[in-house]
Structure 1
Amino acid sequence: MTATSLRLVAHGHTAALRRARFGGPDDSLDEGGLRAALAQAHAGSDRRGHLGVNDTCVSSPAAAATQTADALGLLPSIEAALADCDYGDWTGRSLEEIAGTHPQALHDWMSIPNSAPHGGESVAALLDRVGSWLDEQHRAGGRVIAVTHPLVIRVAVVHALGLPMATYRQLDVEPLAIVRLTSQGTRWQLRLGAPQAG
């Protein structure tokens, strides 16, 4: 059996996250997000193996994810499968704005996983993309750190644990959260607890 340890790290705060806007690939960490990532890296340096310096590291191509990886002292390769959802015409717009101008479209997107009224990517398509990547990691084994987006992590957990798709709406992933999935070759397990060495 092939053992796999996967740590999914949510990127730090961006202006879009703080203002409940649909983000885009060019969104950068804001000042507070960068400070928090640097502080987490410093705290991790006091706990050997906090993020595993010898692990393979990959990142979403988005600026916020690569900046977070850099602040944490990681050297990732870019993995397109970890990109955030493509929000199409809603990119850069706030939830409040969309609710005011297109309430039915927003309702459909939030309640029907295969809906994409913005012309971008549906949550179902995102889950398929991320799920395929997760399945590859499961087959390959090894230790991997992946810096990505909160929604990507939410659908990754849904796929890994075989939860109903609608469950993603009940999961909340904070900036810089670390979600650990492990497998001994049979199925994924969600591991919760304090960071440990190794």
Structure 2
Amino acid sequence: MTIRIVLICHGSTEALHRAAFPLDEELDDQGKRQVAARRGSMGDGAGRAVCGPSLRCRQTASGLGLAAEADEGLRDQDAGRWAGRALADVRAEDPDGVRAWLTDPAAAPSGGESLLALIERVAAWLDAPRDPGGGRLVAVTHAAVMRAAVVHALGTRPEMFWSLDVEPLSSVSLTGGNGRWRLRFPQTG
């Protein structure tokens, strides 16, 4: 059974501008404007929609005109005790921890979720059996979840996670199922 999953990154937030590990925060004014400008851009063929349980994902989905149900499998990477803090502050206090977080996929120095655990969780979500019904599932989620999905889909090394840039409201389409995925880069405009 083939399905297309369109992953969309939530809109802009204050934590993004501060280079901070986010808490459950709302979209900032810029994010709200960007989402409003894209409202209805998913077209009639949106199919079923889901979103991460965070406020920023729910606001993005709603702002895009999607009737999305929250899905725990799309939650952001758990930043543990670093949540809410700027990366620069954490680096000044715990440089070895930040270095481990960026270089060792199994490390979880914040007490949160390691990169390997994130990738495994997202892989399980992607590969879960689902009814292709409408053939398309739109999922509003986080940059980390999108990176993990691409790493899994390509079957590449976890360290490649850090080579992927995901901007607010960017999207990637994955087509396939049963553990076999192809990336599809949709046309714009």
Question: TM class by shorter-chain length?
Answer: over 0.9
User: What is the CA-CA distance between 1:118 and the residue it aligns to?
Assistant: 0.6
What residue in structure 1 maps to residue 70 of structure 2? 78
How far the C-alpha of 1:183 sits from its partner, in A, is 1.7
CA 1:11–1:57: 2 relative to 1, 3 Å? same
Partner in structure 1 of residue 57 of structure 2: 65
Task: Quote the Cα distance in structure 1 between the aligned partners of 2:179 and 2:126.
Answer: 13
Match of 1:7 in 2: 6
Are 1:97 and 2:89 matched, yes or no? yes
What is the TM-score with the length of structure 2 in the denominator?
0.93
Task: Name the TM-score, length of structure 1 as normaliser.
Answer: 0.89
Shift of 1:160: 1.2
Flag structure 2 segments of 5+ consecutive residues without an equivalent. Answer: none
Give ranges in structure 1 of 5+ residues lacking alignment: none
1:5–1:144 CA contact under 8 A, matched in 2: yes
- Residue aligned with 2:151, SS: helix
Aligned residues: 187
Change (3 A) 1:85 1:186: closer
Taking the aligned partners of 1:3 and 1:56, their CA distance within structure 2 comes to 15
User: Are 2:34 and 1:36 aligned?
Assistant: yes
Alpha carbons 1:4, 1:185 under 8 Å: kept: no
2:151 corresponds to which of 134, 158, 161: 158
Matches within 5 A, 1:1-198: 2-24=1-23, 26-41=24-39, 44=41, 48-49=43-44, 52-53=45-46, 55-136=47-128, 140-141=131-132, 142-183=135-176, 187-195=180-188
Please, what is the CA RMSD of the aligned residues? 1.7
- Give % identity: 41
The CA deviation at 1:184 is: 7.0
